[in-house]
Chain A
């Protein structure tokens, strides 16, 4: 059984978590100026519009930073796991895990690709893997 600590959704973040449940990494797009934003928030910092819709991120990106948390150990992770900060090709950044990779092979700048995984406790999260550069 594989499970994760789930989020406390708020009215501002509900679309994001609902999107993951449907297998999509959604990011906000301002209806006032069309700029994208992440993490979720109610107001556009550029034009102050409260109106937005969402687009599905491609999931393609590069690794901006990563670490291997060692202590404390959590019931949700076994052994070594990689926490990654990814630059999406849409110009946004997000925190995720890099999986199916030897931690010794991980380098900043490497191309990565993400998709949604559904854990056994009902939590859905994006998880990234190395990808071949296009």
Chain B
């Protein structure tokens, strides 16, 4: 017997806080605000919720979120590891729960004070006297930030395919162009040019400039997942989960998978891509717009290759500002992405995909039927195809 997840569940509600550099409130409060906003958006009550899914890195306890919202009875609660790599996997988890009857209405969330509180960019490391064990093999040599972990791998990609930092800059220009038109984006009204990108300072030479690196943000985003059948009776056009998948490849580490024979690809995303196309029965040409996880620009190019939008090594020619911008063949990150809108570990990108399905984006793409979302790369990851069906 073959059981498919295709079409069984849908995202029926999206909610978010403002995106800032200092929220001024607790991460638990941000989680509760985002969850309540998503339920209101769906037209559901906390009393309808019986499942909660978040990231292992999230600081808010399920029981606390349930107590604050007034959820009387939970039958599913689970967490996904690998930071932003879990963004689409929380929806995968919720959809599986809905499809099997483990839960009927699942709220997925991510909420943090990543700028005003614990920053991932390494600021906390300067006072460290000892490394956490996962950094033992790289930290003593000066690889202490996500930017530097990604850069050492991306440098090899540049070498093998003749890619330059200017190629990466096109992703920054696209994201900031889209963010400029999104009032919720931190960089609303502030587009950049490729010259601005090339003038920004090196973070890790010769791979990442400042404008290749995503923001650090405070905020929360929540998604409500329920059965497609139930979603059809709710407020909005359902964003039906046509495919959802996780992927971890051989010899993986958390953002330092340097020991494979080839390191110029993202094999985790290849594993995700193969499942997404098979489950959905779609091809890259069937997707009208996408959120491609953009913590650092180089891996957006590699994702285009792993997902099959272009061949290996050809993303530098495929990824033009025109093609990837609104009005182009494959507009990406239409809310501005993690570079332009906010860094909420990818959950804000999924919320934008839902808006594209509904037809309510600030940068609405014409004739959207299928939208692709990916999660954090360079680590075990996940992906999602949503449809208007």
Are B148 and A8 in contact, CB atoms less than 8 angstroms apart? no
Contact A5-B159, Cβ < 8 Å, known A67-B205, A70-B203: no
Nearest opposing residue in chain B for A75, CB measure: B126
Q: How far is the CB of B135 from chain A (nearest CB, A)?
A: 8
Main SS at interface, chain A:
loop
Would you call B156 and A74 a contact (CB within 8 A)? Answer: no
Per the 8 Å Cβ criterion, residues 285-337 of B in contact with A are none
- B133 touching A10 by the CB < 8 A rule? yes
Chain A: CB-nearest residue to B259: A93
Taking CB atoms, residues of chain A closer than 8 Å to B145 are: 69, 72
Contact with B along A74-107 (1 / 0, CB 8 A): 1111000101110000001111110000000000
On chain B, the number of residues with a Cβ less than 8 Å from chain A's Cβ atoms is 42
Bound CA–CA A123/B139 (angstroms):
12
Give the residues from 141 to 171 in chain B that come closer than 8 angstroms, CB to CB, to chain A: 141-145, 148, 151-153, 155-156, 159
Chain A residue at minimum C-beta to C-beta distance from B253: A39
A39 touches which of B128, B137, B141 (Cβ 8 Å): B137
Decide: A65 and B156 in contact? CB cutoff 8 A. yes
Q: In the complex, what residue of chain A is closest to B205 when comparing beta carbons?
A: A68
The CA-CA distance from A131 to B130 in the complex, in Å, is 32
Complex CA gap A74/B143 in Å reads: 10
A8 to B132, CA, bound (A): 6
Q: A7-B131, A8-B136 are in contact. Are A67 and B141 (CB under 8 A)?
A: no
- Assess A5 versus B139: contact at CB under 8 Å? Given A67-B207, A68-B206, A71-B202: yes
Chain A residues near B138 (CB-CB < 8 A) = 95
B60 to chain A, nearest CB (A): 27
B126 touches A72 (CB 8 A): yes
| B130 and A5 form a contact (CB under 8 A) | yes
CA distance A67 to B138 in the complex (A): 13
Q: How far is the CA of A38 from the CA of B145 in the complex (A)?
A: 22
* Cβ contacts A1-44/B at 8 Å (1 or 0 each): 00011111110010000000000000000000000001100000
Residue of A nearest to B157 (CB): A65
* Whole-angstrom distance between the Cβ of A69 and the nearest chain B Cβ: 5
Residues in A with CB closer than 8 Å to B123 are 72
**With A69-B142, A69-B148, A70-B201 in contact, is A6–B131 under 8 Å at CB?**
yes
Contact B151 A67 (CB under 8 A): yes
* Residue among A6, A75, A96, A97 with max Cβ neighbours from chain B (10 Å): A6
B140, A123: Cβ atoms closer than 8 Å? yes
Verify B142–A76 contact, CB threshold 8 A. Answer: yes
- Is there a chain A Cβ closer than 8 Å to B82's Cβ? no
Using C-beta atoms within 8 Å of the partner chain, give the interface range for chain A. Answer: 35 or more
| Distance between B232 CB and nearest chain A CB, rounded to angstroms | 47
A6-B142 contact given A64-B156, A68-B206, A70-B204, CB 8 Å threshold: no
Alpha-carbon distance A10/B122, docked complex (angstroms): 23
Interface presence of A112 (CB below 8 A): no
Instruction: Collect the chain B residues with CB atoms within 8 Å of residue A93's CB.
Output: 258-259
Q: B126 touching A74 by the CB < 8 A rule?
A: yes
**A95 B258 Cβ-Cβ under 8 A:** yes
Report chain A residues within 8 Å CB of B81.
none
The reply to whether B159 and A65 form a contact with Cβ atoms under 8 Å apart is: yes
Cβ A69 vs Cβ B156 within 8 A: no
Residue of A nearest to B258 (CB): A85
Interface residues as binary, A105-116 with B (CB distance below 8 Å gives 1, 0 otherwise): 000100000000
Which residues of B (186-218) have their CB < 8 Å from a CB of A? 201-207, 210
B140, A67: Cβ atoms closer than 8 Å: no
A residues within 8 A CB of B139? 5, 7
Contacts of B46 in A (CB 8 A): none
Question: With A9-B136, A95-B143 as given contacts, are A66 and B258 in contact (CB-CB < 8 Å)?
Answer: no
Do A94 and B137 touch across chains, with their CB atoms under 8 A apart? yes
Q: Are B128 and A5 in contact (CB under 8 A)?
A: yes
- Chain B residues with Cβ under 8 A from A92's Cβ? 259
CA distance A2 to B147 in the complex (A): 25
Besides A5-B144, A75-B126, 8 new A-B residue pairs in contact (Cβ under 8 A), listed by A number? A5-B128, A5-B139, A67-B207, A70-B202, A70-B203, A70-B205, A71-B204, A93-B258
- Nearest 4 Cβ contacts at the A-B interface: A7-B136, A65-B156, A68-B205, A70-B202
